Structure 1
Amino acid sequence: MRPYKMKFDLHTHHDRCGHAEGKIEQYIQSALKQGLKAIGISDHSPFFGMEEDQPLPGIAMAKSEFPHYIKEVLELKKKYEGQIDVLLGVESDFFPEYAEVYRQVYSQYPLDYIIGSVHYVEGITIFNRKRWDQLDEAGKIRLKDKYHDLIVQSARSGMFDILGHIDAMKGRYPEFSEIPSRNLEKAIKAIGECDMTIEINTSGSTKDVGGWYPSDHILELALHSGVKVTMGSDAHIPGRVADEFEFVTRRLKEIGFHEWVYFKERKRISVPL
């Protein structure tokens, strides 16, 4: 098999967030074993818009822990220099009402990239299966449109380098993809106009939906709209680093992509598939 020109994974977590396993260094070591050239560490951002230090311990790290997270990644970046490029990232929640709070925090640190993810719609996690139970068809369409609108807002905010798992609402509700959407094509077009990158996130294989985010249909729309793509396993255990990398590269080529990107020092770098 022909070796890949650049093997990388920009989306990994670790035990700080409260729902992942393993230390940061274990993810780096897993990446080395698989021949990655770059590994991005991107744990869940603290809830900077809330007063409590750690309002949801099983979801994200405490605000007071964030500087220690930064320090550890920077130390590991130096330790593994010459072996693998350890990239300092964060997966940031997007709450429009707190966008400036998050922006000010991130400006204090030497981040290589920021993944912007919509995890909450109308105050409820997108992975809550029960939210769909009492909705009629019109209600489901309205909710899907609200989700897409938040993703477009996150793209237009200028805060992020990558948009995370842009159809992850299907994770615990596979029927999501079948809900008619008035805004999907407009949303993808807007993402392209903002010159944003979206990730192919393979963690859908750990959810009810299987497969990955986003769907092939969305990737086809993204290609047509000039949207750049990147790779993220969203690993919550070290063994999932770069999960399905080979499958993803093959499928992207079949769809028509010729390159994808990664980020370093907030600069987008294109590499051939």
Structure 2
Amino acid sequence: MFFDLHTHNERCGHAIGTIEDYIQSAIKKGLDYIGISDHSPLFFHEQDYPNPRYCMAKSDFANYVGEVLKLKEKYKHKIYVLLGVESDYFPRHIELYKNQFKQYPFDYIIGSVHSVNRKSIFDKSRWDLLNKEQQIQEKEAYYSLIQASAKTGVFQILGHIDAMKGYYPAFSSIQTPIIDETLQLIGELGIAIEVNTSGKTKDVGGWYPSNEILERALFYGVDVTFGSDAHIAERIGDDYLLVQQTLQEIGFKEMVFYVEKKRQSVLL
């Protein structure tokens, strides 16, 4: 079974290519399932399209869903197209997002934390003036948001749970027990984390999360899925077979994906 649940397209303003381009790339690469999961709009913002380089417009969301469903039908004899979305977790607005999402037949929703203390997780300047204790606090603030997102019941998958290391590899060396606390909670709640191979395109040069975190995830019984986080169609399914091999070596017996928000498993 070959699947990829985390993909983007031109609607978000920072990816290249149409939804159909990604589906056609997935077919050429022999995928069985392709999940379309572009960035959800900023539903809480007073403007319809406040940040064209970040996510789609509010007024385009229904069009996004409609296009995915239309392409699902068009390609149904070649590949199974899944309707997904990647949603930022904004604690103050979670009910608004929940009400928006329940209007549509999503197969899964990826919950991701992209901002901590009003700064992008990829802004490495945040670390410049922090002492050791402050670095720990910053890391714990990140994982506290991930924990809170897991508790909402909105998300089937949590996206790139150590992506804060993307442009600051030293992030992984900041020691705190909150990672184990977070993984234990995720395991208890039955939510999946993704192995996201887009980290290889950042300074850190490796997947999200690290193998060390995956080993701890296995200990806490956390489900694992796969997403390339492709922003160009050529990256669909990137490193999928290597991810499977690595998960086997760590000790995982299966990977999961979701259809109509129901957990499906793939033996490794």
Question: 2:93 aligned with 1:98, yes or no?
Answer: yes
Structure 2 equivalent of residue 148 of structure 1: 143
Q: TM-score normalized by structure 2?
A: 0.99
Q: Percent identity?
A: 57
Unaligned 5+ runs, structure 2: none
Structure 2 equivalent of residue 169 of structure 1: 164
Q: State the AA in 2 paired with 1:197.
A: A
Query: What secondary structure does 1:139 align onto?
Result: helix
Which residue of 75, 82, 90 corresponds with 2:77? 82
Distance across 2 between alignment mates of 1:258 and 1:183: 26
Which residue of 9, 21, 43 corresponds with 1:14? 9
Which residue of 33, 56, 65 corresponds with 2:60? 65
Distance across 2 between alignment mates of 1:52 and 1:161: 28
Distance across 1 between alignment mates of 2:45 and 2:139: 26
Distance across 2 between alignment mates of 1:198 and 1:184: 13
Structure 1 equivalent of residue 250 of structure 2: 255
Query: What secondary structure does 2:59 align onto?
Result: helix
Q: What's the offset of the Cα at 1:51? A: 1.4
Distance across 1 between alignment mates of 2:246 and 2:177: 27
Q: State the AA in 1 paired with 2:131.
A: D
Query: What secondary structure does 1:153 align onto?
Result: helix
Q: State the AA in 2 paired with 1:124.
A: K
Query: What secondary structure does 1:87 align onto?
Result: strand
Structure 1 equivalent of residue 127 of structure 2: 132
Q: For 1:204-247, what per-residue CA distance to the aligned partner results, in whole angstroms no more than 9, with x for missing partners?
A: 01100011000111111111111000000000000000000111
Structure 2 equivalent of residue 36 of structure 1: 31
Structure 1 equivalent of residue 154 of structure 2: 159
Distance across 2 between alignment mates of 1:133 and 1:181: 19
Q: What's the offset of the Cα at 1:129? A: 1.2
Query: What secondary structure does 2:245 align onto?
Result: helix
Q: State the AA in 2 paired with 1:121.
A: V
Residues 70-79 or 123-132, more deviating: 123-132
Query: What secondary structure does 1:88 align onto?
Result: strand
Q: TM-score normalized by structure 1?
A: 0.97
Q: What's the offset of the Cα at 1:54? A: 1.5
Distance across 2 between alignment mates of 1:76 and 1:100: 29
Structure 2 equivalent of residue 122 of structure 1: 117
Q: State the AA in 2 paired with 1:18.
A: G
Q: What's the offset of the Cα at 1:88? A: 0.4
Distance across 1 between alignment mates of 2:182 and 2:76: 39
Query: What secondary structure does 1:165 align onto?
Result: coil
Q: What's the offset of the Cα at 1:182? A: 2.9
Q: What's the offset of the Cα at 1:180? A: 1.4
RMSD: 0.7
Structure 2 equivalent of residue 56 of structure 1: 51
Query: What secondary structure does 2:226 align onto?
Result: strand
Which residue of 190, 202, 210 corresponds with 1:195? 190
Distance across 2 between alignment mates of 1:165 and 1:62: 24
Runs of 4+ in 1 over 6 A off after TM superposition: none
